[in-house]
A and B are shown apart, each in its own frame.
Chain A
C-alpha cells in the first residue's frame, strides 16, 4: 500500500487532466470560427438551453433505454455462451467460426440488414445493437472460463459443495474481472452503435437529433448532445460499475 499516492495525488491527477483538456479546447476555440469550434462555455450554455426546451432529456432517455436493453440482452447471452465455449471444447470448435464471422461483421451491415429484415422498428434497432456487442462478450468470457483455476474447482469437488456455493463462491468470482471488463467496454461500444441505429432508422434519441443538427450544420448542438450523453455514461460508470468493482474485487491486495 502506498497511501501517499492513493490518498491525494490520484484524484488531483484526474481533475488536473480534465482541466487541462478544457483549457486546450478553450484556447483552440479562440483561434477558430465559433461556428466550426464553439468553446466549452458556449457548449455548456447550449446544453442548458436544450434541457430548458425539454427535448434533450426526452431524447437522452430514449437512447438510454435502448442502450440498457440491448446491453443487458447482449451481456446475458454473451456471458452464457462464453462460459459454455470456454468450458467445452466441442462447443468451442463448433461455434468458433461463426464467432469470428460475427466479430468481423461491420456494425453498419448488421444494422441495415436488421432494418431490412425486421422493418424500421424498435425490435430491429435493439437487435442490431445486441448482435454487435454479443460476440465481443463471448470472446471475453470464453477467455475467462478458460483461465478458471482447476485447483480451486477440485476443492469444491472434494468437499462436495452444493451447486450454489460452487457456483457463486468458487466459480463465478474467477470470472468477475472478465465480467467487469465486458461491462465497461460494452457500455462504451453499445451507446456508440445505438446512435448509428437511431440516425438510420428511428425518429427519436440522441442519434436522431445529431442527424438533424448535422443537416443544419449546428456544431454547438452536436457537441451539446454528445457531452450530455457522455456525462450520462460516465455517471453509470462511477455510480454503478466502479462501486460494483470495489465490492467484487475488494480482496485484491
Chain B
C-alpha cells in the first residue's frame, strides 16, 4: 500500500533564487498489486513524484508511506528512469546483474535478456547499443528482482510500436507473476488505458490531480483496441481540459 500526501514540492531556481512549485496537494493511495498510470503534460512533476516515492527525494512538504514506513525502509523498488542510466563500463549482462539481490534473480538474467530480445547483445557495452536497446536493458534492470513496487518513467518513449507492444506485454506478465504494484508515468493516454487498472491525471504545473479514473476494460486487452479508443474519447468528451498541454503520440516533443 502506497500512501502519498504531498502538500507541496518546489525547486529553487538558480538564476533568480525564486521557487518553482511543481506539485501541490497530491493525495492518493495505491492498493498492492494495482497498476497505476500517471498521465500529465511535460514538466508537471511526474518524475518528481516518482523520485519521492522511490525515496531518492526527501525534500518536500508532506509524506510518502509505503506499507506504513518510509520509502527507504522497505524493500528496494525497481526503477526505470527516463534516461537509461546504464553503467557505460559494464556489459549488458553485468548492468542487469549489478542490481540483483538474490541468486534466483542472478540465474534469471540471461533468460530475461532473451525475453526482451537482447540475447545477442549480452556482452556488448551500452555505448555499442542503440537508444531503444539501452531502454530495454534499463527495463530488464528494473524488473529483474521482480520487485513488489515498480516505478517506470516513460519507459517506452521513442521505441517503435511493435517492440513497445512486446515490452508492454512482458511488463504485464512480470507484474502479474509477482502482483507488483506499478506506478507508470506516461503522456500517452492510449498506452495508459491499455496497461492500467487506474489512471491518475495530473494538471500542468503546479501539478494537481484532476481526475482519478478506474479502467474497467477486461483483460487481456488489445493495444490500440476499439474499447480503449472509445474510453479515450469518452474521457476527453467528459473533460476536454484533461489533456491540456499534453501532446499525444508525438514522441519528439518530449522534454525532460
Contact surface of A with B, Cβ cutoff 8 Å: 151-152, 154-155, 157-161, 165, 169-170, 173, 176, 248-249, 251-253
A165 to B141, CA, bound (A): 15
14 new A-B contacts at CB < 8 Å, known A151-B85, A158-B79: A151-B81, A152-B85, A152-B87, A155-B87, A158-B55, A159-B79, A161-B98, A165-B98, A173-B89, A249-B89, A251-B88, A251-B91, A251-B127, A253-B127
Interface size range on B against A: 20 to 34
Among B124-162, those with CB < 8 Å from A are 125, 127-128, 141
Interface residue B83 (Cβ < 8 Å from any Cβ of A): yes
CB<8 Å pairs between A and B, sample of 11: A155-B99, A158-B55, A158-B76, A158-B77, A158-B79, A159-B76, A159-B79, A169-B87, A176-B89, A251-B89, A251-B127
Among B36-85, those with CB < 8 Å from A are 54-56, 76-77, 79, 81, 83, 85
Known: A151-B81, A151-B83, A170-B87. A159 touches B56 (CB 8 A): no
A137 to B215, CA, bound (A): 59
Main secondary structure of the interface of B (DSSP, over half): loop
A34 to chain B, nearest CB (A): 53
Chain B residues with CB under 8 A of A248 = 89
Chain A residues with CB under 8 A of B55 = 158
Known: A155-B81, A158-B79, A159-B76. A253 touches B98 (CB 8 A): no
Chain B residues with CB under 8 A of A249 = 89
A126 to chain B, nearest CB (A): 34
A124 to chain B, nearest CB (A): 41
Interface residue B6 (Cβ < 8 Å from any Cβ of A): no
A113 to chain B, nearest CB (A): 42
